[in-house]
């Protein structure tokens, strides 16, 4: 007879309650570590520092994960195809940081093919907006003729960008966002982008799989560096034609 599944419960009234050791995460489903808790900034920042992230559907309790292996993208490791190179060089777009964070969240949470589910509910959106207002979350937007055509967002601690989601409303728009994010993060001395769960799409873009142990080793070193928690701006040359910029 199979033994019952024992999952660590987090008290939502205590945002400072510690997470269980990540070695206790389940193998099936891969990486499920705890249930419950809350989405306060204190809880979320504690989670990210330990390589843990929330992922759940709106009709579920909060679920916390730390999968093994872990998908990461080195800031100098993105694989750029010939067709993407052409899209990047065409320059028929403009870029911005932190100009439309809520719009990016809504676009990332919209139903789409190959999605991991409608996981970005109202509670999650409010939580990431709180982190954005505190300077820990950032968005990158891609614009064309004043319309938002692609983008991404994530959380930053130390020199790690924890990528949460990206979206595209035009060919290659999300890949363009990722390319320029990598370029800027490399200039700032960041070490890696956490992509969380591996997929064929991420691997095709240059992501690699690290064992949980190796990922946590790198994370522990990188998050100790103090980040700039203000609004971001590009300090590298990027397409910025005013015809395409935000309204």
Average pLDDT for the chain: 93
Residue 97 vs residue 230, higher pLDDT = 97
The verdict on 145 and 196 lying in the same domain is yes
Same domain, 173 and 53: no
* Whether residue 144 sits in one domain with residue 28: no
Tens digit of each residue's pLDDT (9 = 90 or more) over 192-215:
999 999 999 999 999 999 999 999
Helix (H) or strand (E) holding 164: strand 160-168
Which domain CATH number covers 215? 3.40.630.70
DSSP conformation class of 3: P
Q: Give, in order, the Cα–Cα distances in Å from 215 to each of 174, 181, 237.
A: 25, 21, 31
For residues 200 and 99, membership in a common domain is answered with yes
pTM above 0.85, yes or no: yes
Distance, CA of 141 to CA of 104 (rounded, Å): 7
Statement to judge: residues 150 and 62 lie in one domain: no
- Same domain? 26 vs 118: no
Angstrom distances, CA of residue 5 to CA of 2, 32, 113, 223, 242: 9, 11, 31, 32, 56
| Per-residue model confidence (pLDDT) at position 97 | 98
Write the pLDDT tens digit of every residue in 34-89. Answer: 999 999 999 999 999 999 999 999 889 999 999 999 999 999 999 999 999 999 99
Work out how many domains the chain is built from and give that number: 2
């Amino acid at each position: 007879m199979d033994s019952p599944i024992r999952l660590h419960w987090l008290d939502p009234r205590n945002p400072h309650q510690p997470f269980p050791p990540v070695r206790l995460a389940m193998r099936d489903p891969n990486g499920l570590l705890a249930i419950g808790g809350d989405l306060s900034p204190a809880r979320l920042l504690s989670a990210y520092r330990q390589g843990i992230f929330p992922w759940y559907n709106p009709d579920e309790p909060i679920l916390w994960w730390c999968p093994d292996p872990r998908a990461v993208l080195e800031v100098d490791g993105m694989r750029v195809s010939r067709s993407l190179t052409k899209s990047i060089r065409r320059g028929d777009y403009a870029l911005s940081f932190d100009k439309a964070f809520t719009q990016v969240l809504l676009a990332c949470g919209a139903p789409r093919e190959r999605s991991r589910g409608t996981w970005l509910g109202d509670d999650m959106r409010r939580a990431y907006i709180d982190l954005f207002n505190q300077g820990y979350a950032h968005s990158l937007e891609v614009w064309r003729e004043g319309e938002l055509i692609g983008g991404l967002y994530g959380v930053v601690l130390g020199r790690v960008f924890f990528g949460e989601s990206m979206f595209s409303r035009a060919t290659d728009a999300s890949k363009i966002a990722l390319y320029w994010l990598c370029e800027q993060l490399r200039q700032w001395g960041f070490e890696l982008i956490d992509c969380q769960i591996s997929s064929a799409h991420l691997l095709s873009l240059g992501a690699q799989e690290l064992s949980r142990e190796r990922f946590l080793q790198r994370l522990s070193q990188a998050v100790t560096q103090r980040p700039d928690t203000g609004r971001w701006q590009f300090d590298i040359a990027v397409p910025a034609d005013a015809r395409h910029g935000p309204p």
